[in-house]
């Protein structure tokens, strides 16, 4: 569960036919998201999703989130606004029926691992939070931002060949 979005649903309240929901994050929730995700602002966050019961006490939650966020440019630190739209689709399983994680190689084409139903609650807020976090640009950049790069002149070892980084390290190694 995430403290920023407590959009949990008790399984006892979900009808057999399932349910469709629309959620809008409050100003307090958006401020918490901005702090947790190191955003300058989260101006809007909404999610539309369906909860459908499955077999053996499982539930499927699928939907879409939309968020208006402001991040700091990695070059100038100026605000960079963006709109994110992401889909999510997760399966919640009763905690006692969760599969045992397998060690070894990871198959990227495999189904996503199920989420546990903890305390009789589907933690949809945590799913939305994680989906939003994954959708953020890790290096936001203002359209006109540019780095001033200065290339250092390569040093040569005397014969015209550039010296290796190890030659530089050898110069600073203390002599015994």
pLDDT tens, 118-140? 999 999 999 999 999 999 999 99
Q: What is the mean pLDDT of the chain?
A: 85
Residue closest to 90 by CA, chosen among 135, 119, 67, 59: 59
CA dist., res. 116 & res. 157, Å (int): 61
123 neighbors 8 (Cβ within 8 angstroms): yes
Q: Cα separation of 59 and 158, whole Å?
A: 70
Q: What is the pLDDT of residue 68?
A: 98
According to the model, what pLDDT value does residue 13 have?
Answer: 94
Number of alpha carbons in the 13 Å side-chain half-sphere of residue 89: 3
Residue 30 has pLDDT above 60, yes or no: yes
How confident is residue 99, by pLDDT bands cut at 50, 70 and 90?
confident
Half-sphere exposure at residue 157, Cβ-oriented, CA atoms within 13 angstroms: 10
What pLDDT, on the 0 to 100 scale, is given for residue 81?
A: 96
H or E element at residue 90: strand 79-94
From 1-5, 21-25, 73-77, 155-159, the region with the lowest mean pLDDT: 155-159
d(CA 36, CA 31): 9
Question: Higher confidence at residue 79 or residue 148?
Answer: 79
């Amino acid at each position: 569960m995430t403290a920023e979005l407590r959009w949990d649903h008790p399984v006892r309240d979900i009808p057999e036919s399932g349910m469709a929901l629309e959620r809008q994050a409050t100003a307090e929730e958006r401020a918490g998201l901005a702090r947790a995700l190191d955003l300058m602002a989260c101006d809007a966050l909404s999610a539309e999703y369906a909860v459908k019961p499955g077999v053996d006490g499982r539930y499927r939650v699928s939907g879409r989130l939309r968020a208006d966020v402001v991040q700091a440019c990695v070059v100038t630190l100026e605000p960079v606004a963006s709109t994110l739209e992401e889909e999510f689709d997760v399966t919640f399983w009763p905690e006692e029926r969760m599969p045992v994680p397998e060690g070894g190689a990871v198959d990227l084409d495999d189904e996503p691992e199920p989420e546990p139903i903890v305390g009789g609650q589907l933690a949809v807020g945590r799913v939305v939070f994680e989906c939003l976090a994954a959708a953020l640009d890790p290096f936001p950049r203002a359209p006109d931002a540019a780095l001033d790069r200065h290339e250092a002149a390569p040093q040569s070892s005397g014969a015209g060949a550039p010296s290796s980084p190890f030659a530089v390290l050898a110069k600073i190694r203390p002599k015994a």
